Amino acid sequence: LQWLRNPGPQHEKRTLFGDMVCFLFITPLATISGWLCLRGAVDHLHFSSRLEAVGLIALTVALFTIYLFWTLVSFRYHCRLYNEWRRTNQRVILLIPKSANVLSNQQSLLGLQSLKRNSKETVV
């Protein structure tokens, strides 16, 4: 969620949103189309031409192959973008203690501050 809130390149966010919308529309359409093609192939095997049944089965295999290829390429692309973002957008806060007493006080306060601190920050 930090990546979506980050004021970085809007093109990557639009691409992710577009791919999610396409995935939500294409998944049920591919499922229904595949089921209808297989159902038609079964009907053609029982009542009609085997050639049409083989054609419908080939169409189903092609449909699901294209769907899986698109899904995997899209997923890999967005994972690569996310990993690149994680590598280049790290926020680190370095705390340097002044003495041993201050260190123990800071450690006790650090426990309280970590509850208030955003998850964007890393304490080192």
How do the pLDDT tens digits run along the chain, 124 residues long? 666 666 566 777 788 888 899 999 999 999 999 999 999 999 888 887 888 889 999 999 999 999 999 999 999 998 998 888 788 877 777 778 776 555 555 555 555 455 455 555 555 5
CA distance 16 to 85: 14
Residue 26 tokens, joined: 């294409």
Q: What is the dihedral of CA 46, 52, 57, 59, to 10 degrees?
A: -150
Residue 102, judged by CB atoms within 10 A of its CB (0-12, 13-18, 19+), counts as exposed
Place of tokens 């009542």: 47
Size of the chain in residues: 124
Chain position carrying tokens 């085997």: 50
